Amino acid sequence: MKKFIHDFEVLYNLRLNNQYFLLKLFNEEPLPPILPAQFVQVKIEDSPQTFLRRPISIHDVNYEKNTISLLIRIAGKGTAKLSEIKAGEKLNLVYPLGNSFTMPLDDSILLVGGGCGVAPLLYTAKYFMQFGFNPTLLLGYRDKNSILRKERFEKYGNVFYTTDDGSYGEKGTVLEHSIFNSEHFPYKNIYACGPTVMLKNLTIKAKELNVPLEVSLENLMACGIGACLCCVQNTTGGHKCVCVDGPVLKANEIIW
Q: Which residues are at the interface with other proteins (CB under 8 A)?
A: 2-5, 43, 48-53, 94, 219-234, 238-239, 244
Provide, rounded to whole angstroms, the least separation between the CB of residue 48 and other proteins: 8
Closest CA to 34 of 50, 69, 55, 58: 58
Residues 6+ apart with CB under 8 A from 121: 111, 113, 137, 139, 153, 191, 193
With residues binned 3-state (H G I as helix, E B as strand, rest as coil), the percentages for the chain, rounded to 5, are 20, 35, 45
CB 92 within 8 A of CB 5: yes
Whose Cβ is closer to other proteins: residue 72's or residue 97's? 97
Partner residues linked to 60 by β-bridges: 69
**What is the distance between the alpha carbons of residues 14 and 182, in angstroms, rounded to a whole number?**
39
Whose Cβ is closer to other proteins: residue 175's or residue 244's? 244
CB 53 within 8 A of CB 230: no
- Other CB atoms closer than 10 Å to residue 55's CB: what's the count? 23
Provide, rounded to whole angstroms, the least separation between the CB of residue 50 and other proteins: 7
